[in-house]
Amino acid sequence: MKIEAILDKSEKCSSIFENAIRDLEIPTCKAFLKSGKLAPINFKQASHEIENKDTPKVNKAFPHSYGASKNKALEADSPNEKPLKGKRVAVLFSGGPAAGGHNVIVGIKKILGKNNTLLGIKAGPKGLIEGNLFEITDSDVEGIVNTGGFDFLGSDRTKIKTDEQFAQVKRTCNDYKLDAIVVIGGDDSNTNAAVLAEYLFTNVMPDGSGVQVIGVPKTIDGDLQIGDFLPISFGFDTATKIYAEMVGNILQDTPSSRKYWHFVKLMGRAASHVALEVALQTKPAITLISEEVAEKKLALHEIVDSIAKSVVDRASRGINHGVVVIPEGLIEFIPEMTALLKELNERMAEFKSILDAKSFDEKKDYIYTKLTAKHAQLMASLPDYIEQMLLADRDSHGNLQVSLIPTERLLIDMTATRVKEIDPSVKFNTLNHFFGYEGRCGAPTLFDAAYTYNLGLTVGSLILAGKTGYIACITNLDKGGKPVALPLTGLLNIERRHGHDEMVIEKALVRTDSPAFKYFASRRKDWVNSDVFCSPGPRQLWGPASKQLPISVALNRDYSAVEFKF
């Protein structure tokens, strides 16, 4: 075949690599294998009850779900000898994409088998409301297995909350005669799944029956995790390995070209799991962890001062290069910055009509007179372009889009000034990067591919066992993998949002008393003092380096190896 013909055939996700991964065998937990063949499993209630301080209130709000689950986790039992038949199951993606989403669908489809029907909901929760569904075929599944992205269904961020939306969902359930809905999403989407499960528990169909709802833990941010039961959300491993390879490449570049400090911002606004994992994978000179900044109540100038001192210190050892890793959400974890932003938002709302009539410079002068002294001082210490952003127009809620602040540039500029103050002879050439979108849709690592496929098998098993209101999980990742399910109600907390209490799944932040953080904290002094970086390399789907787990997961779960074993 001529090259041109080979190339024509490679279009539509059919490169040599993409074709090869479709033939890759996916490691499967023993629980799902009966005489070497795939089979759904039964579940039994574990003794352990999932609860938190708000559980009593939540239980009252979710009487059906709590009544059925008693907030007890489910564990894999024997194979399900009498799985339900004729089930019609619909699956959707919610929120930003994460690697492995397609394999969840593959797993569900395989375990549902010929006796049941799987439908895809197009373009996220909105598709469920609008009734945009289609039947997923075996050949669809052959096409998407092990591939990255959410493009098979598409996704969106619609939150189902109004009475009308719920009614529309009910209509879709009836129109398509659905028995179950699978929500693949993050903390907010699984909160939505909990609400849907309760709402659809009964009286959806003309015969009075309900529709089961099962959630699947997705998010590259890694902030949906619940101890040993839910060691990590899917997509985290792939995203962090992609970012870690890029950071590793840049680290390898620094002593090669010997002239730059690279400031790398990594996606992940709420939690710093991504930054911490990338730090453990690559050992950059400096990694900032938002949660630590908040806990120690560090001021911006203290962070800058610490970076600047490290720059000067390395320079004294002849190292005029380095890498600084910054979590996307850092600014929001610096107490004085959030206080300044809060005061600014309030003052700008208070004096809106006066400010609207002013030029930028007049506006600035005016606002400065309205700020408390310490906030005025802080704002004056920021580079001009940040000052300009802080005074920019607010969104419809009167808030500033903090994510637009270029934290990496802010830190570079302030560090440059500080380095010059400490020692003007120190060379400080910089480059900045932001890695985000690159990490959401790459082909899954072997771990994420296997993890999501087995999550799909768990989801299908839960549905064929008649369960609803659970999130599917795989635990014991280093010891064969064990399917479990957690009652969604047990995960709900009461949080103050937009001025009123909401029951939501709490985001899991980095804990500074966790083994992963403690290991990082114990080693970082050596990382800044010398160049001991390493790199996980490009994700390997074959060969001796293909089974690596996220290091932070292995540390936090006290595994004895950093390789997964299904």
Question: For residue 158, what are its two tokens?
Answer: 């619609």
Q: Which helix (H) or strand (E) holds 429?
A: strand 429-435
Q: Which is nearer to a copy of itself, 174 or 514 (CB)?
A: 514
- Considering the complex, what minimum distance in angstroms separates the CB of residue 124 from a copy of itself? 9
Beta carbons of 149 and 448 less than 8 angstroms apart: no
The one-character DSSP state at 392 is: S
Q: Which is nearer to a copy of itself, 210 or 444 (CB)?
A: 444
Distance of CA 358 to the CA centre of its chain: 41
* Alpha carbon distance 415, 52 (integer Å): 42
Q: Which is nearer to a copy of itself, 4 or 164 (CB)?
A: 4
Q: Which is nearer to a copy of itself, 83 or 268 (CB)?
A: 268
- Considering the complex, what minimum distance in angstroms separates the CB of residue 63 from a copy of itself? 37
Beta carbons of 501 and 495 less than 8 angstroms apart: yes
- Considering the complex, what minimum distance in angstroms separates the CB of residue 533 from a copy of itself? 7
Q: Which is nearer to a copy of itself, 254 or 475 (CB)?
A: 254
* Alpha carbon distance 281, 273 (integer Å): 12
* Alpha carbon distance 144, 247 (integer Å): 29
- Phi, psi values for residue 43, rounded to 5°: -125, 150
- Considering the complex, what minimum distance in angstroms separates the CB of residue 377 from a copy of itself? 29
Distance of CA 373 to the CA centre of its chain: 38
Q: Which is nearer to a copy of itself, 199 or 243 (CB)?
A: 243
* Alpha carbon distance 29, 39 (integer Å): 11
E-strand spans in 13-71? 33-34, 37-38, 41-49
Question: For residue 43, what are its two tokens?
Answer: 């579940």
Q: Which candidate, 99, 103, 73, places its Cα nearest to that of 91?
A: 103
Q: Which is nearer to a copy of itself, 242 or 509 (CB)?
A: 242
CB burial of 451-467 (b: ≥16 within 10 Å; e: otherwise) equals: bbbbbbbbbbbbbbbeb
- Considering the complex, what minimum distance in angstroms separates the CB of residue 369 from a copy of itself? 28
* Alpha carbon distance 244, 442 (integer Å): 13
The question of whether 361 is a catalytic residue gets the answer: no
Task: Choose the catalytic residue: 179, 221, 478, 531.
Answer: 221
- Phi, psi values for residue 422, rounded to 5°: -70, -50
Question: For residue 330, what are its two tokens?
Answer: 């850092």
- Considering the complex, what minimum distance in angstroms separates the CB of residue 443 from a copy of itself? 5
- Considering the complex, what minimum distance in angstroms separates the CB of residue 101 from a copy of itself? 8
* Alpha carbon distance 476, 290 (integer Å): 29
Which residues are the active-site residues? 221
